[in-house]
């Protein structure tokens, strides 16, 4: 990275699963292809909170030390979480309660000092993008949607449960209005101990709905990891045995998604004042 232009960092969680980080790096490359982004930014990179490299503070330090005028950071998360509300601003040297910064240091993180040229922006609500993503991913397997159900598998959050429930409710409602016979969801993350049982129960519930003959299981996870290949796959196999259901499942993920890449690129350009504001603002250290 070099030059007086800013850098753009796509901030994601990170994972030990093989291929997970590669999908985020590929997404960052796709964002860079958004018209105007390569002209506006000296570099577009992915960085991670944990488990994958580079870590977010390291990516920002590298950009600033190479001469970038500032670093614009965009979180790649589905909904509110402690990572978005506490960890990211804490790592970037933005204002957070002191106990958050102490926790990050105790976890082995190296937060940035305050006052650096760092801006944290957000992509906004993702309901429309996720709805289109689900329809695209089920398109080849759909036959008679009125006799089919969709089970959405999402990470979830104990701390921000209401926000996650609201997101799932919106997506379920839109899928049923679009024409599916039924839609429900199941958590697959730490909130359920990564257990396959909630997903299996959701699939069985969907299969019991009047008129439902087939069930689509769709992971609402950013990239492919062990939750798809182990947890959800085990749940699908269990439900098929217990319910004698026809279940359609692909171990896929939200990414790649060109619409999401374009949204991130547009928001980044908007942060530089290169597009009319759509609302919202970034925080600057």
Q: Which residues of 47-56 are buried (b: 16+ CB within 10 A; e: fewer)?
A: bbbeebebbb
Stretches in the chain below the pLDDT threshold 70: 1-3, 276-285
**3-state DSSP assignment of residue 239:** helix
pTM attached to this predicted model = 0.92
Q: Which of 170, 263, 182, 171 is nearest to 219 (CA)?
A: 171
Q: Which residues of 116-154 are buried (b: 16+ CB within 10 A; e: fewer)?
A: bbbbbbbbeebeebbbebbbebbeeeeeebeebbbbbbb
Domain locations in the chain?
7-120+256-284, 127-249
Instruction: Report the CATH architecture of 127-249.
Output: 3-Layer(aba) Sandwich (3.40)
Tens of pLDDT, residue by residue over 183-225, are 999 999 999 999 999 999 999 999 999 999 999 999 999 999 9
| DSSP for residue 55 | B
- Output the pLDDT for position 257: 98
CA dihedral for 19, 45, 15, 192, sign (positive or negative): negative
- Output the pLDDT for position 279: 46
221 contacts 153 by C-beta, under 8 angstroms: yes
Neighbours of 205 (CB within 10 A): 18
Q: Which of 152, 260, 149 is nearest to 206 (CA)?
A: 149
CA–CA gap between residue 277 and residue 280 (Å, rounded)? 8
- Output the pLDDT for position 150: 99
CA–CA gap between residue 2 and residue 163 (Å, rounded)? 39
What contacts 24+ positions apart, CB below 8 Å, involve 107-112? Answer: 109/55, 109/57, 110/55, 110/57, 110/58, 111/57, 112/57, 112/60, 112/61, 112/285
**3-state DSSP assignment of residue 187:** strand
7-120+256-284 CATH pick, 3.90.1150.10, 3.40.640.10, 3.40.50.300, 3.40.50.1400:
3.40.50.1400
């Amino acid at each position: 990275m070099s030059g007086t232009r800013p850098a753009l960092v796509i901030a994601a969680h990170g994972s030990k699963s093989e291929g997970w980080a590669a999908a985020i790096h590929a997404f960052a490359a796709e964002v860079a292809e958004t018209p105007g982004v390569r002209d506006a930014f000296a570099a577009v990179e992915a960085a991670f909170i944990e488990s994958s490299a580079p870590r977010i503070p390291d990516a920002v330090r590298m950009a600033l030390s190479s001469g970038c005028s500032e670093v614009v950071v965009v979180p790649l998360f589905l909904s509110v979480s402690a990572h978005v509300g506490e960890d990211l601003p804490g790592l970037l040297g933005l204002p957070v309660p002191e106990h958050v910064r102490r926790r990050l240091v105790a976890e082995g993180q190296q937060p940035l000092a305050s006052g650096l040229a760092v801006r944290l922006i957000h992509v906004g609500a993702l309901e429309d993008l996720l709805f289109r993503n689900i329809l695209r991913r089920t398109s080849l397997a759909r036959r008679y949607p009125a006799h089919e159900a969709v089970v959405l598998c999402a990470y979830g959050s104990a701390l921000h449960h209401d926000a996650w429930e609201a997101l799932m409710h919106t997506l379920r409602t839109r899928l049923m209005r679009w024409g599916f016979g039924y839609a429900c969801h199941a958590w697959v993350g730490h909130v359920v101990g990564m257990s396959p049982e909630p997903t299996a129960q959701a699939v069985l519930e969907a299969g019991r709905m009047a008129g439902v003959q087939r069930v689509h299981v769709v992971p609402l996870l950013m990239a492919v990891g062990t939750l798809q290949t182990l947890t959800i796959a085990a749940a699908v196999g269990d439900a098929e045995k217990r319910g004698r259901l026809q279940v359609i499942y692909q171990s896929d993920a939200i990414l790649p998604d060109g619409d999401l890449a374009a949204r991130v690129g547009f928001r980044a350009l908007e942060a530089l004042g290169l597009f009319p504001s759509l609302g919202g603002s970034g925080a600057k250290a």
